[in-house]
Every structure is written in C-alpha cells, then in structure tokens.
C-alpha cells in the first residue's frame, strides 16, 4: 500500500510539476479597475496609437523598449474631471510572466501600483508595502532600484521588471497623454 501511495504521489508530481502551481493571479483586470476607480462615475477604455516619434521619445525616457505602438488604457472620471489613468503592463521576470497595474494621476505621478499576476515563485515577490512606496513617484533619473526605489533581497529581477514597466508607463503618459498632447 505504501508503494502505491508513493507511486501515485510521484506520478502527480510529474503530471502537475510544482513550478506550475507557483503562479498566482491576485486580482483580475476588471476587479483592479473597479478598486482603483471606485470613487469614479465612469471608467472608459481608450487606445493610444503612438507615432514613430513618440515611440522613440518613450524609449529614450523609459530607457526600455516599447513592444507595440498600440497602448490600451483606462480613464476614470468623477464629475467630469479626470481622476486617473490606468495602464497594464506584463513582462517576463525570470522565466515566467508578471502583470502590474499602474494608475497615474493627472499630474503625472503614480497614484497606485499593484501586482495583479505573478507566475514566478512567491519568494521572488516583494511585499505589498514595497509597492506602496511608488505612490507619488514621477519619471526622473532617480526612478531606479537602489536610487529612489528600494532594492529587495531575493527579488532583484522582479524589482527591475516592475521598475522598467513603471518607467514605460510614465514615459507613455508624459509623451502621449500630458495636457499639451491631449486632443
């Protein structure tokens, strides 16, 4: 009987490897938008169509490559005033995907940064308090780990991935959504 249970356990481990069960979705996009814009009257999905010049400028500001000229985003409004802009960014951290949501306020600073899905081992994920440290940050040369962003032991690649994703979003906002650039 013991041999049978060991064999079944080994078979289950082969069929469902541990690495596959490590990933986790913390919050769906819909729930994240609802939470971020709970005080808003409306939330509207919009699409940016970036020009070549904008892509070049975004990549220069973010110090990171943009994968697409199409950028979906969401605008939350309350009493006809813009409350914020939500962007979603996915990246491969080490070998698996992670997705963040960044809400940027109309002044161009981070209102909220949240990890929505993380498929790497949870040991590589910074605490929720680390994500709160991004509130009020804006795109500048200090927005890097070990400068204005705290490094996290054991989560170096995640910290780097999140920071690069945030820099891309803030560069997109600054280049394509600032008051001077809005239609």
Of residues 11 and 89, the one with the higher pLDDT is 89
Inside any domain, residue 13: no
| Residue 10 counted as domain residue | no
CA–CA–CA angle 84, 139, 105 (5° rounding): 10
Q: Is 182 within a domain? A: no
Note the pLDDT tens digit of each residue in 100-145. Answer: 999 999 999 999 999 999 999 988 888 888 899 899 999 988 887 7
| Spatial separation of the C-alpha atoms in residues 102 and 136, rounded to whole Å | 12
Residue 14 domain-assigned? no
146 is a domain residue? yes
106, 84 contact by CB (below 8 A): yes
For residue range 48-80, list pLDDT tens digits in order.
999 999 999 999 999 999 989 999 999 999 998
Question: What's the structural domain count of the chain?
Answer: 1
Question: Which residue from 136, 134, 132 is spatially nearest to 109, judged by alpha carbons?
Answer: 136
Give me the domain span that covers residue 104.
23-177
């Amino acid at each position: 009987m013991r041999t049978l249970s060991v064999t079944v356990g080994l078979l289950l481990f082969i069929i469902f490897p541990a690495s596959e069960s490590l990933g986790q979705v913390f919050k769906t996009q819909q729930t994240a938008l609802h939470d971020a814009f709970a005080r808003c009257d409306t939330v509207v999905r919009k699409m940016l169509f970036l020009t070549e010049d904008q892509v070049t400028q975004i990549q220069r500001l973010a110090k990171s490559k943009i994968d697409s000229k199409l950028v979906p985003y969401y605008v939350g409004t309350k009493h006809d005033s813009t409350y914020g802009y939500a962007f979603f960014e996915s990246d491969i951290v080490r070998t698996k995907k992670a997705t963040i949501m960044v809400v940027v306020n109309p002044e161009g600073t981070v209102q909220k940064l949240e990890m929505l899905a993380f498929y790497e081992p949870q040991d590589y994920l910074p605490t929720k308090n680390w994500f709160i440290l991004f509130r009020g940050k804006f795109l500048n040369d200090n927005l890097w780990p070990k400068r204005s962003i705290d490094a996290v032991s054991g989560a170096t690649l995640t910290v780097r991935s999140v920071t690069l994703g945030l820099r891309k979003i803030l560069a997109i906002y600054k280049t394509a959504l600032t008051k001077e650039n809005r239609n």
